[in-house]
Structures are given as structure tokens and as C-alpha cells.
A and B are shown apart, each in its own frame.
Chain A
């Protein structure tokens, strides 16, 4: 469909059709629930954190192709990673989505050397401002899950 190639890149459609790390993790895994109140999208992020490492991640919920593919790509990008590296990746991703952190002083520098890989496919979303919230929903929920205690 002309005009939408930037938004609906093939890799996005692939993650939407076959989402990675789909499912739930039993307690005590951490869990956070994210909602986009405007459109009704829901994302649940489950994290098994051992020490400083995200050992496992699962995603459930419902939403549009952008929110679901972003969640799927995110899960693949953070699984097995150190928490600090993940937080740096979140910042880098939000920067790509043109989101300015409100408390830039405390959040530190954005490491632009971080490779986004498949996630770069989501850059086209920036041209569709209404959809940026769809792309970032999973990421905000991930941060909430990291800040949550074990269940």
C-alpha cells in the first residue's frame, strides 16, 4: 500500500504474525501490565531476573501490529541481557522514537553506539506520530516490570 511501506516493514509484519517469547511466566517472576487508554492496547511483560540478568521474558496481551511487533522484537533483544544494558537500550530506543526523557539529568547519557538491529525497522513509526505510543508501550511496561518486586 503506497505511503505505508515505512510503517509496515516486512520484519514488523513477521514479528506480528509470529511473535517471539509469547506467553506468561509463573510467580515469582516479575510482571507489569501496560495499557494504552486511548486505543485499548494491553501488554503484559513477565521477567525472570536472576542477579543482574534477565534470564527469561514472556509477553502477553493484545494490540495492533506496531505494539505487538515492538513487544516481540523487544523480548528478543533483552532476553539474556544485563539489566544495565537493557536500560541503556530502552533509552536508545526511545531516542529513536523521538521521545525526550523528562528528567534527562538523572537518566544519564544516551549511548548511541548501541546497536538496535531489527528494532531499527520501527524507525518509520516516527512519521506517524499517533502510532509512537503503540511502539513504546511494551518498553514502558518493561521498565515497570524491572522496577516491580517478585510476585
Chain B
């Protein structure tokens, strides 16, 4: 006979649904009866009775399940045995008897559980945890979304929003402001927040001393007041409780300190002091000039989605009421909790990807521990068989084995959680030391109930998966075979199958992890080596923030910028002075960026980066190629002009010179947005846009800073001698322009680039450590698994060699076996790599070639590593003589 018929094999499988003793009593006869029925039907009909076979299979499966259930009810003794204290003691004794195994297993588990717990807790605190204020989950940030991108809210829209939006209550605006406290020689620059006093009602946090801001403080004619943060109260006022009620010079105006907020308070953003945003400021604001952020409390019954829809409606109405050339584009809105809004639009991706990485590392750890447990079970197979033969039930042995797993997982969980807590506290210390200015006040990572819950969940997963494998193994132990040859064959075939499956899972997991690691490394490299598009060496940067009180008009502000530039240029320590104000990207949508052509309708220009500047553009590597540069004489009294980059000129004007052409910059925050500007020059290209973004371009338009109204300008100047001298010179130049003015955030330009990438680099370093741990786990694990799989075949190898097989043939046989798992693992990983690559390319600037190359390289490396891991135990097996192999197998 060529073999058993398929239906008979299927019936054999279906019979496994019946309890073992039932099969032992009736199984053979049932097979025989079915064979009789099939033969009779075949004789009668001349073909295989498929319906009969299907019915019999279904009946066997259902009947088997019912028989098992029936048996449970009839014989309560076969219910799972209850845990006993003596089992725990027994398991503990066994673990203590092999300290090496116990220590290794606990460490591997601690690594997997600790990393998963750390990642989960870190991300939860960073992105999901409600802010630690009364009903913090209902506090939301409201942001307009223009053309799919989150933007600040136009101050001119705030009044309409506050009056009309019902789904967000106590909606208040705030914005950052550099402040100068003190007078003459005792001045100090601090980072302040100008906030609608209603935000203190949103925070529901009482002041430590005095009171917070109240709506009366923002009324026209109210006395200027100030609320201090705990940090600045300690640093600038020595923690003096008498500071409340005192008048201090603030930006030159006497301002009364009315309160000090408690330590750690930084709502809505970290700040050193709070000033009231004048109640009439939104009403007086010019559209397109000042941008603020909005925070409020979600009204009862309102959801984020309904609130966003309502805000979008109000915003669209406000936009429609204004000059259409000033603002256009598709306006929408986002209403998010503060932590979500802080992380930005990629939060879902970040949360999912990083948790996936942590999950994969836990999976790797579990695969390794499974292998360790299987190896240990192999060693004890004879003992287990003896106990089974002496009458111990499989359930009893499973429960005892389970206790061993539980104890190991609990120990791993405790050590891992302690490690995670240590890491979380380290992160808190690091962020407070390195990025205090940008730190959200809710970013305090520590061991809390969420971390413990996460750790508990990971420990449970570990116990469940490891316990299931161990139980399966004990239940399937072939007592007779185990007793006969001491475990060489007792369940070895099945265990071998399990080991091979584990190798495939391991190959898949480690391939995906390493690919992710390599791509993270590529992105981190890009972040570290940010290309600003010009040489940032010896470049000092500071900010000019004209105080509203003394520079209330566009002309006054322009005068200050002109003066600051002149004073900085006078300093011997500084050269190549440039004041710049990036105005973002002007896109072609709805004619916001247009060229006046011969036809009546303006022609649309491609997307371009727009920047207002005053001074020498060569400071940022931009040279004049044609026409003239922008000069200090290009002010509001002259005809509006612009210079364009060569890339933009080529793209739009082709071979012709754009000099003399006219273009319009509506919507780019450039002040008089409806006016056409004459192109007076063409300049060289430098990349613009967010240095970390993938869509950088050299298409640029530069307009004179003095021909628009700007609330801020950055000063760039190259130092000639030392950085210290340059810093001093910049402070002196500002003081010469206005004795009450200090430069905002003075630092080398390269330092600002470094800070830009600091968080990304640090997070990447952290995860590099995780990947290194994963790689070590994978290597050791694969070696262990292959070693075990080959060890199980030692007797077979000996037999083959005794029968004349050459070493080469045997080695090929073994490596081919490893190769099959490699192929399966790599094939399983391929779709994951594809999906991950596409996802990463969507968010970070990496090319398709690089992504594919990384995937191929990682897969090839893993293949190499696994083959290497197979080779060592193969050689060991080949070194044994056939006699030894047969003896030790």
C-alpha cells in the first residue's frame, strides 16, 4: 500500500479530540468500523463517500469534545490540581539547586520585562498620561490646521473663538515672551509667558504665595502685574516671602509681583513668570501678525472631535470675513490633550513603533527562556517519566513545573521593574538637567501605578507563554520512551520541532528589530549631522524682541531692528551681521504666492521658503548672482522688492532673468500681503525648511525685514576672536540700541543645531542600547537553540557516520536543517520589513534605495549569524566518534 488514505489520517487526527483512555479502548475499533463503512459505500457507489467522511470527522471532533467535558464532570479528580505550598517549596529548591540556570534565566527575563516596562511607561508619561492637575484629562490644546499642518492661532481670531466656541470652556491664549527684570547693572533676562488669566482658572492651582493672575489684571488701565515661578523666585529673589506686593522693573515698566506659583508648576508651558495678556489684545490685533496657542477645558459631554469641528467652523467663518488674500488654504482644527499636542502629529507612529520594538525584545527574551526551560526539561525527562510511571498525574507535574516558571518570571519581573524604575528616574534627571526650558511640567518619569500595572501585564504574558510551553511538553512526554533511553527520544521529536519553530521565530524577530535599529541609526546620523545649508562655524545667534510698550508700531519696531543691526556691526568682535525672520513656506494653493504676468490672472509660483532679512545674506551662505542684494534702504518708504534663489528662478522663469518681474507673497506673514513686489536680484541656493524634515528645498524668496511688520528677528553674526568676546559684544550692542533691551537666547548657532537634535540623539542612543541587548539575546539564543537541536540528533549523527556518511554530508544535512528555519524566518520577516520601511519613509528622510539596502544587509547578516551559530555545534557533533555519539546520545 502506498500509505494510509488521507481520510483515515484525518480521522486519526480527529480522534485526538477524545480523551486518551477512550482512544486506547475504542480507537482501533472506530478506525476499523469507519474503514468498513467507507469500503461498503465505495463498493455500492463506486467512489469515495465524501459526505460520509465529512460527517464522521465532524462527529468525531464534536463527540470527542463532549466526551472530555463529560469526563471532567464525572471525575472531578481530573480537574487541574490546586496549587499546594509544598509545590512552591519544591520549585524553589529546584531553582536554588541550579543557581547558574536560575541567574541566567532571571537576567534574560529581567532584560525583556524591564525594557518593555520602561518603554511603555516612558511613552505613557510622555504622550498619554493626563496632566497632573484637577481633571487634567479634560484640559485641551486647540490648534488650527492649515493645509494639513498644525499652526499657531492668529491672535486676531482669538476673540471670535473665545466668544463662539461652546465645546471648550475657559479658552485662553498664551505666548512666550523674553522679559528683562531689574534695572541697570542688576538686570536679568527671563523666559516669560503672556497668558490670558483664565488659564489660571483652567489650571485650578492655587498660588504658593499671593494669588495667580485674575481677569481684572488684563483689563485696560489695570496695574501691570506679574506672577513668578518657584524657580525664578528662588534664583532671582532668594526665596524672599516679602516679594509679593513689591514693584519690580519689567522691560522698563514698574510691575507689581502679585504671586508665586508652587514648585513644578509650568502651565501651560514651562515658564519663569506670567504676565496677563491684555483683554483687548485680540480685538486690536492685525490678522497675520501675531501667533498664540490656545488652551481650555473640554465642556461636559463634548468630545475632542466635536470640539475640533466647532473650532474649525468658527475659524473658517473668521477667515471668510477677512481679506481673502491674507489667509487661504484648507482650514481645519485639532483639539488634543496637552501631552498629545506636545508630541505632535507623529505620536501614534512613535507610540506604536517603540512599543512594538519593546514587545519584540520581550518576545526574544521569552524565546530564549523557553529554550533554557526546554533544555532543563530534557535533563529531567527521566525523573519526570519515573514520577509519571509511579502514578503522578500529568496535571500535578504541570502545576509543579508551572511554579518554577512563576517564580522565575516573578524574580525577572521584580529585577526588570527595578531596572525600569531606575531608568525612568534617570530620564527625569537627564531631561531636567539638559532641556529645562522645553520641559513640559508633566514629564516626570518615575515608578508609579501605571508602570507597575505595565510590569504586571508583561510578567503575566511571560508566565502564560512559558507556562503553556512547559505544560505542553510535560503532557506530551512519552513515558515508555523516556524510561527506555533516558530522554534521548522521550518527546525529542516534538521538542525538536518546537526548537526549530523557535529558531524561525527568533530569526523573524531579530531581523525586524535589527532593521528598525539600522534605520533608527540612519535617522540619528542625519539628526546629528544637521546641514543648515551654510557654514555654522563661529556664528553667534541672539533674538530681538521689541517690547510692545516702547515699540507699539511697525515703524518703531523697524527702527529698532535697523538700530540693532547698525550697533552689532559696529562691534569689532563681530562681523557678517544678518537679521532674519523666517516666514515659513508660501505655497501655491489658492494664489497665495503668485507672479503678475502679462495675463490678467496672476500665475502661481511653486512652493517657496520665504524669509525677511536685513543685512548681509552671505552670513547664511547666500551670494548675489544677478541684480542687487537687499539693503537697509529697502524700507517701508520704498517700493516693495524681493530677491529670489537661483533654484526658484530656474524652476519658474526657465532661462530668463526674473529681475524686474513682480510677485506676491500673500499668506506668508509678510505684512502687506496683497502687494506685488519687484524682483531685484537672484541669489545662490541654500536648503531651507526644518533641517530634520524630508521636504527641504532651495526654492526661496527673500524680502526686506523693514518692509514688513515683525514681532521678532534673529540676529546672526560671525565672531572674529572668541565666543566670549562675541557674546559680550552682542549684549553691548543691544544695550547701545536700547538700554532696556537684552538679546534673547544668545548661543552659538552650532549649539542651537545640537540642541535641535539632542532629544532625538539621546532617545536613539537609549534604543541603540536596547538593540544591542536584543542582538546579544538573539545570538546567544540562536546558538542555544541550534546547539540543542543538533544535540538532539547526536545519536542519529553517530549512526549515519557509523554507516559510512562522510563529515561533509553530515555537516550539509545539519546546516540544511538550520537553513530551512532561516528561510522560513526570513520569509516571515520580509513583509514586516516592507511595511516598516514604507512607514519610516513616510515620516523620515530616507531613500528607497537605502531602505532596501538596509533590509537586504540586515537579512544577510542575520543569515550569516545563524549559520555561524549552527556551525559551532555542528563541528562539536562531528568531533565525536560514532561510538561516542551512539553512547552519549
Bound together: no
Q: Which residues of B contact A (CB under 8 A)?
A: none
